Amino acid sequence: MEVPDAKGLWFLAAQSQDGAGNLSETVMYPFYCSQPAISDSKYEGIESTSDGSPWRTRAFSATDKRTYCYSRLAKTGQDNVVAAAQFIGYPHPDILFYRRLGKTLQQEPPRRIRADFFTEKGDSYKISVVLMDANLVTLAESEVKTMKADGTWHRKTMFNIPEIKETPIFIGFHVQMEDKSRAILCFDNVRKTTPPQAAKPVEKPAAKPAEAAKPAAQPKPATKPAEAAKQPAQ
């Protein structure tokens, strides 16, 4: 499915299909897009599944097997991949939206993740980034960020992840919803970034030792006036 990548009037073409594979006539639905999916880079981030590792969903707690959330992928006309978690209208637990990391990120685990989120209007979301081992056991989790569901893109949201010694296999978003209702949460521009370095203290130059007091200058002797010529002028 193609998603809008520019503001303006768009049309959605829809058909229904019965069990025998027969398609209905095409119906056009016009809509105005005020929040297009725009990438700030020509390269895809972690949201892309070009390496063959898809996004999956499951309940965040291993003891809760029930979930009503599905992963979706869409592209813009400029081939920008947008990942989405679609919540179905049933009560459900906290959701883990996850995928396998590439080998480079496994060898150099991210310490900071930047991502864009689109939230439909409704109650807010609480989202954190999780690094997991091969059994989906949490190795590290970032701080929790609250996303107001206001129908807009929340750009360049930063998540700081604690340093770990183990090798992570999966990365995911731990998503908590307040109302547990039908909704869609979109992810884009999910990228590893460099954590900010702590500012180095400014070193002040060492104070110079106090110079020894110089002796007071001695007054110079007064200049004697020129002596008058001994011989008067003739």
Per-residue confidence band for 42, with pLDDT thresholds at 50, 70 and 90:
low
Q: Is the pLDDT of residue 132 over 90?
A: yes
Question: In degrees to the nearest 10, what's the CA dihedral of 54, 57, 58, 59?
Answer: 150
Q: Which residue has 């949460």 as its token pair?
A: 185
Mean pLDDT of 39-48: 64
Q: What is the chain's percent helix, strand, coil content, to nearest 5? A: 0, 40, 60
Of 113, 177, 114, 174, which is closest to residue 144 (Cα–Cα)? 174
pLDDT tens per residue, range 155-187: 889 999 999 999 999 999 998 876 656 677 888
Indicate the pLDDT class of residue 53, thresholds 50, 70 and 90.
confident
* Residue 175 buriedness (CB in 10 A; 0-12 / 13-18 / 19+): buried
- What is the amino acid identity at position 140? A
Q: What is the pTM of this model?
A: 0.67
Domains of the chain: 40-192 (2.60.120.260)
Quick one: how many helices (H) and strands (E) in the chain?
Answer: 1, 13
Distances (CA, A) of 90 to 56, 60, 72, 93, 181: 19, 16, 18, 10, 6
pLDDT value for 86: 77
Which tokens belong to 183?
A: 């909704």
**Residue 136 banded pLDDT, cuts 50, 70, 90:** very high
What's the whole-number mean pLDDT along residues 100-104? 88
Q: Answer yes or no: are the C-beta atoms of 159 and 143 closer than 8 Å.
A: yes
User: What is the rounded end-to-end Cα distance, in angstroms, of the chain?
Assistant: 127
Query: Would you tell me how many other CB atoms lie within 10 Å of the CB of residue 47?
Result: 22
What DSSP element (H or E) covers 190?
strand 183-192
